[in-house]
């Protein structure tokens, strides 16, 4: 893993956006794996700005989001499709037909999950997978104890994840308890992976991811087996890392 400790969250965000722009510059028809959530919202804002400045076009890009809630109408403001439209899709030139999320309302969620894995393969696999990090070490919605060999499937959300999501739903409306998420093995097939973690709340999970044993108890630790992972973090998220000086020494810029 290439662990890059940035001076600030803003630096980590700008660097993540630059890696996405560089990926598309090298391969205009790249397939991107996308994450929702607070960590990536400013990355998408930077990509929208780069698009408006004429620095990047998504016209030939395909995208595959990591996950979607089960049972939430696609048009619900908290569905991940709605979130992606607000953050990115509605503001860039991506072809909506190539902007994929699992269908959380599919009559047969298991068949939908299998179809999603096939769609990723049919697109030639993912060139750059963006990952946020759960405070419990999840990637996508692969909660602790998820099989490290898992494929896209339905997954019950862990109680801390449901609690963290509650703030996005109006009082009286229960947040979803299930998702369709890319599996750990699906994620591991991406050619490049960019994990972005900012803020002190991610420090323990980041340490377990980078320096802990590989264990299903921290699904992100499976990334230790991937040959091309960049971890971008700020000082707060890096604060639990033991080899901080080494990571600083290997950072030679973009
Ligand atoms: C979102 C996803 C999750 C988040 C993670 C971090 O599509 O798959 O794994 O990336 O929960 O969320 P934030 O960025 O909100 O802290």
Residue 252 has pLDDT above 90, yes or no: no
**What does the pLDDT look like over 113-144, one tens digit per residue?**
999 999 999 999 999 999 999 999 999 999 99
pLDDT (0 to 100) of residue 250? 83
Please provide the size of the chain in residues: 254
Tokens representing 185 are 């093995």
pLDDT score of 56? 98
The residue written with tokens 């040959």 in the block is 227
What pairing do the DSSP bridges indicate for beta strands 62-65 and 128-131? unpaired
Tell me how far the alpha carbon of residue 196 lies from the centroid of ligand 1, in angstroms. 10
d(CA 36, ligand 1 centre) in Å: 6
> What was the pLDDT predicted at 87?
98
The bridge status of strand 62-65 relative to strand 2-6 is unpaired
Active site (annotated) includes residue 252:
no
Residue 186 is encoded by which pair of tokens?
């699906």
Residue nearest ligand 1's atom 2 by CA: 140
Compute, in angstroms, the gap from residue 177 CA to the centroid of ligand 1.
Answer: 15
- Taking alpha carbons only, the member of 186, 188, 135 closest to residue 158 is 135
Query: Is residue 253 over pLDDT 90?
Result: no
Residue nearest to atom 10 of ligand 1 (CA): 132
> What percent of the chain clears pLDDT 70, i.e. is strictly above it?
100
Residue-wise pLDDT tens digits, 53-79: 999 999 999 999 999 999 998 899 999
The answer to whether the CB of 184 falls within 8 A of the CB of 148 is yes
Mean of pLDDT values over 221-227: 98
Write a three-state SS string for the chain: CEEEEECCHHHHHHHHHHHHHHHHHHCCCCEEEECCCCCCHHHHHHHHHHHHCCCCCCCCCEEEECEEECCCCCCCCCCHHHHHHHHCHHHCCCCHHHEECCCCCCCCHHHHHHHHHHHHHHCCCCCEEEECCCCCCCECCECCCCCCCCCCEEEECCHHHHHHHHHHCCCCCCCCCEEEECCHHHHHCCCEEEEEECCHHHHHHHHHHHHCCCECCEHHHHHHHCCCEEEEEEHHHHCCCCCHHHHHHCCCCC
- Considering only CA atoms, which of 153, 134, 129, 132 is closest in space to residue 144? 134
Q: Report yes or no: 146 and 218 within 8 Å, Cβ to Cβ.
A: no
Task: Locate 116 and state its tokens.
Answer: 């999603």
Note the pLDDT of residue 99: 98
Residue 136 phi/psi, 5-degree rounding, is -95, 10
Q: Which of 51, 65, 112, 136 is catalytic?
A: 136
Spacing, Cα 140 to ligand 1 middle (Å): 7
Confidence band, pLDDT 50/70/90 cuts, at residue 254? confident
Average pLDDT rounded to a whole number, residues 85-92: 98
Cβ neighbour number for residue 39 with a 10 Å cutoff: 24
Residue to substitute in 68, 72, 132, 234 for testing ligand 1 pocket (most ligand atoms within 8 angstroms of CB): 132
In angstroms, what is the span from residue 124 Cα to ligand 1's centroid?
Answer: 25
Q: Tell me which of 68, 83, 112, 143 is the catalytic residue.
A: 143
Q: Write down the pLDDT at residue 84.
A: 98
Residues with CB under 6 A from ligand 1: 35-39, 66-67, 132-134, 138-141
Question: Any catalytic annotation for residue 108?
Answer: no
> What percentage of the chain reaches a pLDDT higher than 90?
92
Mean pLDDT calculated for residue range 81-91: 98
What's the average model confidence in pLDDT over 87-102?
A: 98
Query: Can 90 be counted among the known catalytic residues?
Result: no
pLDDT mean over 194-203: 98
Measure the N-to-C terminal CA separation of the chain; round to a whole number of Å: 15
Active site residue 143: yes
């Amino acid at each position: 893993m290439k662990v890059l400790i940035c001076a600030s969250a803003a630096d980590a965000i700008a660097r993540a956006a630059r890696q996405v722009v560089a990926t598309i510059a090298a391969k205009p028809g790249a397939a991107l794996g996308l994450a929702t959530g607070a960590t990536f919202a400013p990355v998408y804002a930077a990509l929208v700005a780069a698009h408006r400045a004429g620095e990047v076009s998504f016209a030939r890009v395909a995208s595959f989001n990591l996950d979607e809630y089960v049972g939430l109408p696609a048009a619900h403001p908290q569905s991940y499709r709605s979130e992606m439209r607000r953050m990115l899709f509605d503001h860039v030139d991506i072809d909506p037909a190539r902007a994929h999320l699992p269908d959380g309302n599919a009559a047969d969620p298991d068949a939908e999950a299998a179809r999603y894995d096939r769609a990723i393969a049919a697109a030639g696999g993912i060139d750059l997978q963006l990952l946020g990090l759960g405070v419990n070490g999840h990637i996508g919605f692969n909660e602790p104890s998820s099989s490290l060999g898992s494929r896209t499937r339905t997954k019950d959300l862990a109680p801390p994840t449901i609690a963290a999501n509650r703030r996005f739903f109006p009082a009286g409306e229960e947040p979803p308890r299930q998702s369709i998420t890319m599996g750990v093995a699906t994620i591991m097939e991406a050619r490049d992976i960019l994990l972005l973690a900012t803020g002190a709340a991610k420090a323990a999970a980041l340490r377990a991811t980078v320096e802990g044993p590989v264990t299903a108890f921290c699904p992100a630790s499976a990334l230790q087996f991937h040959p091309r992972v960049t971890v971008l973090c700020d000082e707060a998220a890096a604060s639990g890392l033991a080899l901080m000086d080494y990571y600083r020494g290997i950072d030679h810029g973009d």
